[in-house]
Chain A
Amino acid sequence: MQVTSPVRKPLITGGKTVHDVTEDICRQVEAKPSKLWLMAFGVSVVTLAIGFLAVAATLWEGIGMWGLNKTVGWAWDITNFVWWVGIGHAGTLISAVLLLFRQKWRMAINRAAEAMTIFAVICAAMFPVLHMGRPWLGAYWALPLPNTFGSLWVNFNSPLLWDVFAISTYFSVSLVFWYLGLVPDFATIRDRATGMRKTIYGALSLGWDGAARTWSRYESVSLILAGLATPLVLSVHTIVSFDFATSVIPGWHTTIFPPYFVAGAIFSGFAMVLTLMLVTRHVFKLQDYITIEHIELMNIVIMVTGSIVGIAYITEFFIAWYSGVPAEQYAFFNRMNGPYWWAYWSMMTCNVISPQLFWSKKIRTSIAATFIISIIVNIGMWFERFVIIVTSLHRDYLPSSWAMFYPTVYDMGVYLFTFGLFFTAFFLFAKFFPVINMAEVKSIVKSSSENSVKKTA
């Protein structure tokens, strides 16, 4: 028997029974799409289509369509890549790390957060793929395939190649973890459906019958997947940070990057989860499952990781000064006072100051404040990557090569495309898949719902 301490707040409110969980979550999968959903989905598809024009132009004409120049050879592309990968960190962190720590509040949010992870990683992958210029040949440059192009094998000493392996492993393991969680829930939908729906959800549910023997194996598979996914999550952004940290560019060449990037990724990932979950919760009326308690706990994670990011910024500055290396000192001085001062100070305001507001219980339990701060955090995290990448490059070693970066409409279009892709995929998921993990939530109805907490108190 599972016992929850009476000091813990209930994770499910509204006196729900196990059957209510099935009804509440299946309702939106079974109902006809609402007008609101159709509108939101329509806007996403239109965004995707408009953005695709920029993608098509990039593929047709080449990456010269972007605003990159000889000095700033990496800008929005890598900024957006790192930003999306960072956002993709919350899902697997919630489902894997919080599973290992036995945090039961993960159960209501892990499904949607993992879906978000998968879509964000797809969006992230768009940028390096498009940056290849001729992505149809990309497999030869990214994977160890025998070829006749020159250097026979890929360079395993390169962090960019490590990225290929890290991101693709992260994507595929997250996908498997997510799908495995969906199987019992697809079975629930299958057993309520008829006709075509029954066939489709029947195939998706892999003939799940809920046998104790299968559940027992399923539980050990979940636990080990969580154990494998935990170092994986940490490794992905570590390796992304190696793209910069292993170089010799002042402002990039720092050993603090791996933990600093991982904390930043969790920070932005949780913010994006909150942005999306607050909307999903409202539209699908899931207030009893995603409670203020859940929102508060996520806000605390944002506050902690935001503080780590803040300390990392300050440490970087201190070390730049303390190193006594003029190039390093200049890189940081230039970030603060150079032509990109506005990007730097936007980053500082959004990432360092805004999460500190969550020290106030009133703010971290306010839905409106949470929603606004969650968006501010992701704006700040975009600026962080932009500052790190562009300000470190634009003042080259020779003053004659100094340059600024101006994005073209194609840079913006490709970014827009990934937004369209992300939201189109997320809305399809929200309509056709159960947005909350029913089987897991059902397992805590007895121990962590409002009724049970009252009983033991």
Chain B
Amino acid sequence: MSDSKNFILGVYDDEDVLLHAVSKIRGAGIKIDEVYSPFPVHGLDDELGYKKSKLPIAAFLFGMLGTTLALTMQIWMLGIDWPMIIGGKNFVAIPDFIPVTFELTVLLAAFGMVGTFLVSSDLKPWKDPKLLDIRITDDKHIMAIDLAKNKAVDAAQIGSALKDSGAVEVNDKKVEE
């Protein structure tokens, strides 16, 4: 039992039906394991009760790191380590340092945020996605309900709740861990 999971899958072909279905199923006290979609469905994360992503904070922190590194690098190199007279300008000419500072801020913010996203979503080239239904990446939305997490409700009841919420198909799926 411990090395396999039993899922009931509700298959939906319309994103608006899916959105209503999510709130109905959750309202009926059934825990949804995850919903899989071929394209982003706006508002689905709210319906599922997911917290807002903290990625913007990661982007901001990486951006600040970029700003700090860029300014420190330029001030240290041209102001402290090897001052050079260039057209009689100040050694530390802050306005001249702004373009490079801006670019490095954007660079670090973008790469840092995308890196954080890839790690937190566990996206990597050697990962096997173990799709519950091959049509997820084509045109069907799949609502997966883990039976082990819904011991209070019996399987037949979950199946009929899915059908009632507008699922075009209800399938059982056993996943070997």
Interface centre among A2, A169, A177, A242 (most CB of B within 10 A): A169
The answer on a CB contact under 8 Å between A443 and B40 is: yes
- Give residues of chain B (118-133) contacting chain A, Cβ–Cβ below 8 Å: 118, 120-131
Chain A hits for B111, CB < 8 A: 172-173, 176
- Give residues of chain B (53-73) contacting chain A, Cβ–Cβ below 8 Å: 53, 55-56, 59, 63, 73
Whether, in the assembled complex, B19 has its beta carbon less than 8 Å from a beta carbon of chain A, the answer is yes
Chain B hits for A224, CB < 8 A: 55-56, 59, 109, 113
Please, which residue of chain A has its CB at the minimum distance from the CB of B95? A157
The answer on a CB contact under 8 Å between B136 and A446 is: no
Report the bound CA distance from A10 to B82 in whole Å.
Answer: 61
- Give residues of chain B (63-92) contacting chain A, Cβ–Cβ below 8 Å: 63, 73-74, 77-78, 81-82, 84, 86-87, 89
The answer on a CB contact under 8 Å between B78 and A153 is: yes
Smallest beta-carbon distance A239→chain B, Å: 6
The answer on a CB contact under 8 Å between A151 and B129 is: no
Q: Which of A16-24, A83-91, A318-326, A398-406 contacts B (4 or more CB under 8 A)?
A: A16-24
Whether, in the assembled complex, A455 has its beta carbon less than 8 Å from a beta carbon of chain B, the answer is no
Report the bound CA distance from A242 to B134 in whole Å.
Answer: 52
The answer on a CB contact under 8 Å between A165 and B100 is: yes
Please, which residue of chain B has its CB at the minimum distance from the CB of A239? B99
Interface centre among B14, B39, B53, B100 (most CB of A within 10 A): B39
Q: List 28 A-B contacts (CB under 8 A).
A: A21-B139, A144-B77, A151-B82, A153-B78, A159-B99, A162-B99, A166-B99, A172-B110, A176-B111, A184-B38, A206-B125, A207-B126, A210-B38, A212-B37, A212-B45, A212-B48, A213-B34, A215-B44, A217-B53, A217-B55, A220-B56, A221-B113, A225-B113, A225-B114, A439-B39, A442-B139, A443-B41, A446-B15
Chain A hits for B87, CB < 8 A: 157
The answer on a CB contact under 8 Å between B96 and A187 is: no
Please, which residue of chain B has its CB at the minimum distance from the CB of A190? B137
Report the bound CA distance from A17 to B139 in whole Å.
Answer: 9
Whether, in the assembled complex, A232 has its beta carbon less than 8 Å from a beta carbon of chain B, the answer is yes
The answer on a CB contact under 8 Å between A1 and B74 is: no
Report the bound CA distance from A216 to B151 in whole Å.
Answer: 28
Whether, in the assembled complex, A228 has its beta carbon less than 8 Å from a beta carbon of chain B, the answer is yes
The answer on a CB contact under 8 Å between A228 and B125 is: no
- Give residues of chain A (317-366) contacting chain B, Cβ–Cβ below 8 Å: none
Report the bound CA distance from A2 to B19 in whole Å.
Answer: 12
Known: A21-B139, A156-B77. 4 other contacts (CB 8 A): A22-B138, A144-B77, A191-B131, A242-B99
Binding site for B on A (CB under 8 A): 1-2, 17-19, 21-22, 144, 151-153, 155-157, 159, 161-162, 165-166, 169, 172-173, 176-177, 180, 183-184, 187-188, 190-192, 202-221, 224-225, 228-229, 231-232, 235, 239, 242, 439-440, 442-443, 446
The answer on a CB contact under 8 Å between A220 and B53 is: yes
The answer on a CB contact under 8 Å between B114 and A221 is: yes
The answer on a CB contact under 8 Å between B138 and A19 is: yes
The answer on a CB contact under 8 Å between B138 and A191 is: yes
The answer on a CB contact under 8 Å between A209 and B77 is: no
Report the bound CA distance from A442 to B97 in whole Å.
Answer: 44
User: In the complex where A156-B97, A173-B106 touch, is A209 in contact with B129 (Cβ < 8 A)?
Assistant: yes
The answer on a CB contact under 8 Å between A228 and B59 is: yes
Chain B hits for A204, CB < 8 A: 125
Chain A hits for B74, CB < 8 A: 156
The answer on a CB contact under 8 Å between B93 and A157 is: yes
User: In the complex where A144-B77, A446-B15 touch, is A169 in contact with B138 (Cβ < 8 A)?
Assistant: no
Smallest beta-carbon distance B1→chain A, Å: 24
Chain B hits for A166, CB < 8 A: 99, 103
Chain B hits for A216, CB < 8 A: 40, 44-45, 50, 53
Please, which residue of chain A has its CB at the minimum distance from the CB of B63? A228
> Which single member of A18, A180, A192 contacts B139 (CB below 8 Å)?
A18
Chain B hits for A187, CB < 8 A: 129, 137
> Which single member of B14, B40, B81, B120 contacts A153 (CB below 8 Å)?
B81
Report the bound CA distance from A2 to B43 in whole Å.
Answer: 10
The answer on a CB contact under 8 Å between B40 and A219 is: yes
Chain B hits for A231, CB < 8 A: 102, 106
User: In the complex where A225-B113, A439-B39 touch, is A220 in contact with B55 (Cβ < 8 A)?
Assistant: yes
Smallest beta-carbon distance B60→chain A, Å: 9
The answer on a CB contact under 8 Å between B50 and A225 is: no
Report the bound CA distance from A305 to B139 in whole Å.
Answer: 39
Chain A hits for B170, CB < 8 A: none
The answer on a CB contact under 8 Å between B110 and A228 is: yes
The answer on a CB contact under 8 Å between A151 and B84 is: yes
Chain B hits for A173, CB < 8 A: 106-107, 110-111
Report the bound CA distance from A180 to B114 in whole Å.
Answer: 9
Whether, in the assembled complex, B155 has its beta carbon less than 8 Å from a beta carbon of chain A, the answer is no
Smallest beta-carbon distance B177→chain A, Å: 16
Interface centre among B50, B52, B100, B111 (most CB of A within 10 A): B100
Chain B hits for A157, CB < 8 A: 78, 86-87, 89, 93, 96
User: In the complex where A1-B16, A151-B84 touch, is A165 in contact with B99 (Cβ < 8 A)?
Assistant: yes
The answer on a CB contact under 8 Å between A228 and B139 is: no
